[in-house]
A = this chain, B = another copy of it.
C-alpha cells in the first residue's frame, strides 16, 4: 500500500470568503507545500507557514503523519500545481497551478495533466491510496459536480458550511465558461478544465492509470474525492473504486455521503479516530467540525490496525507540540474565534 499525495493550488482559494478568513491570503498558497513537508519530515522544514488555524486546529497533514509514524506506509507526493517551493520530494509531471474558476478556463491543461498522471499511475507497482491537498478544493469540487449534473453537496473546513457562497461562485464560474449545470455530463475533463483544479485532473489520471493496470485504488478524502469519483465514472472508468474518509465528513454530510457512494458504485470506509476521548485543543477542534478531512487523513486512519489508534493519538499530540499547539489552547489559539483559514483539502467555505 502506497499513499500518493497530489498537492497543488488554485487561485480559486483567493476569492474573498472562499478561503483563509482571518488569515493572510498570500501565505495560504504555501499551505500544500507545508503539508507535504509535515507528511515527509514531521514538521514544516522550509516553508514560512505552519498550517494551524487561529483556533489551534492543525492541518490534517498532522494526523496523516501521526498515522505514518505508527503504521509506516510509503508516501509519494506529486506536484499537482504547487505555487511555492517545498523541501519535500515531489514527482514532477509538469503541472501548473490552477486559475480562478471564474476564468474561462480554470485548468487549461486538464487533458494533458490527466494523460501524464494516467501514465504515471499505470507505472506504479503498489496498491494506491490517493489523497489531495489543495486550498479551495471543495469549491472546485462543487464546480465539477455541478458541471457533471450530479446532485450532491460538498463539505467544508468550517463548522458552519457557507455552501451558498460556494454555489454563487460556481454559478459565476459556469457562466464564465458558457456552461450550465450538467453541460459536461459526457466530458468530465471539460468540467475540470472549465471549473475544476489541477489536483482533480491529477488524482483522476493516477487513479485511471492504476485501475487500468490492475492496481487497487482507494480515494482518500471526502466530498472532493466524491467529485473525482464522479468524474471517473463519467469517463467510463468502471473498475471497483473505494473512498475512505473521516467520521467528521460523515457527521456533516449525513446520508448524502453514503448515497453518493452508492450511486457511484464506490465502497465507502469511514473511520472515527476517537478524538473525543482526549482533552486536547487540536482534537477538540476536529470534534467541533473544523478541518474534517484532507491530506489523505481518512484513508490513512483506515490503515490503523485494531488497538493502535491510541498510539496514533499519542503521536498526534507530539506533532502538535512540534507545530506549536498547546494541548489546552496555547499561543495562537483562540477557542472563541468563529473564523479560521482554509488550510486543507476538503475544506473551505
Report which A residues bind B (CB closer than 8 A). 40-43, 45-46, 72, 74, 76-78, 85, 87-92, 119-120, 123-126
Contact (Cβ within 8 A) B123 A45: yes
Contact (Cβ within 8 A) B41 A125: yes
* Chain B proximity of A235: nearest CB distance (Å): 23
In the complex, chain B residues whose CB is within 8 Å of the CB of A91: 87-90
Contact (Cβ within 8 A) B45 A124: yes
Which chain B residue has the least Cβ–Cβ distance from A85? B92
A-B contact pairs, 11 of them (CB 8 A): A45-B123, A45-B125, A46-B120, A76-B88, A78-B89, A85-B92, A87-B123, A88-B91, A89-B89, A90-B91, A90-B92
* Chain B proximity of A298: nearest CB distance (Å): 22
Which chain B residue has the least Cβ–Cβ distance from A78? B89
A347 and B182 alpha carbons, distance in the complex (Å): 60
In the complex, chain B residues whose CB is within 8 Å of the CB of A46: 119-120, 123
Contact (Cβ within 8 A) B90 A90: yes
Which chain B residue has the least Cβ–Cβ distance from A46? B123
A124 and B88 alpha carbons, distance in the complex (Å): 10
Our pick among B74, B85, B89 for the contact of A76 (Cβ within 8 Å) is B89
Contact (Cβ within 8 A) B77 A41: no
Which chain B residue has the least Cβ–Cβ distance from A90? B89
* Chain B proximity of A126: nearest CB distance (Å): 7
A191 and B125 alpha carbons, distance in the complex (Å): 42
A126 and B43 alpha carbons, distance in the complex (Å): 11
* Chain B proximity of A94: nearest CB distance (Å): 9
A92 and B92 alpha carbons, distance in the complex (Å): 9
In the complex, chain B residues whose CB is within 8 Å of the CB of A123: 45-46, 87
* Chain B proximity of A46: nearest CB distance (Å): 5
Which chain B residue has the least Cβ–Cβ distance from A42? B125
A119 and B85 alpha carbons, distance in the complex (Å): 13
Which chain B residue has the least Cβ–Cβ distance from A89? B89
Given A46-B123, A125-B41, A77:B92 Cβ within 8 A: no
Our pick among B85, B89, B124 for the contact of A77 (Cβ within 8 Å) is B89
A123 and B85 alpha carbons, distance in the complex (Å): 14
In the complex, the 5 A-B pairs of residues with the closest C-beta atoms, listed nearest first: A89-B89, A45-B123, A89-B91, A46-B123, A89-B90
In the complex, chain B residues whose CB is within 8 Å of the CB of A45: 123-125
In the complex, chain B residues whose CB is within 8 Å of the CB of A40: 74, 76
In the complex, chain B residues whose CB is within 8 Å of the CB of A126: 41
Contact (Cβ within 8 A) B89 A120: no
Which chain B residue has the least Cβ–Cβ distance from A72? B72
A72 and B123 alpha carbons, distance in the complex (Å): 22
A76 and B85 alpha carbons, distance in the complex (Å): 16
Which chain B residue has the least Cβ–Cβ distance from A74? B40
Which chain B residue has the least Cβ–Cβ distance from A44? B123
A87 and B116 alpha carbons, distance in the complex (Å): 11
A66 and B43 alpha carbons, distance in the complex (Å): 28
Q: A43-B125, A76-B89 are in contact. List 18 more A-B contacts (CB 8 A).
A: A40-B74, A40-B76, A41-B126, A42-B125, A45-B125, A46-B120, A46-B123, A72-B72, A76-B88, A78-B89, A85-B92, A87-B91, A87-B123, A88-B89, A89-B89, A89-B90, A90-B90, A90-B92
A119 and B45 alpha carbons, distance in the complex (Å): 10
A267 and B229 alpha carbons, distance in the complex (Å): 54
* Chain B proximity of A331: nearest CB distance (Å): 21
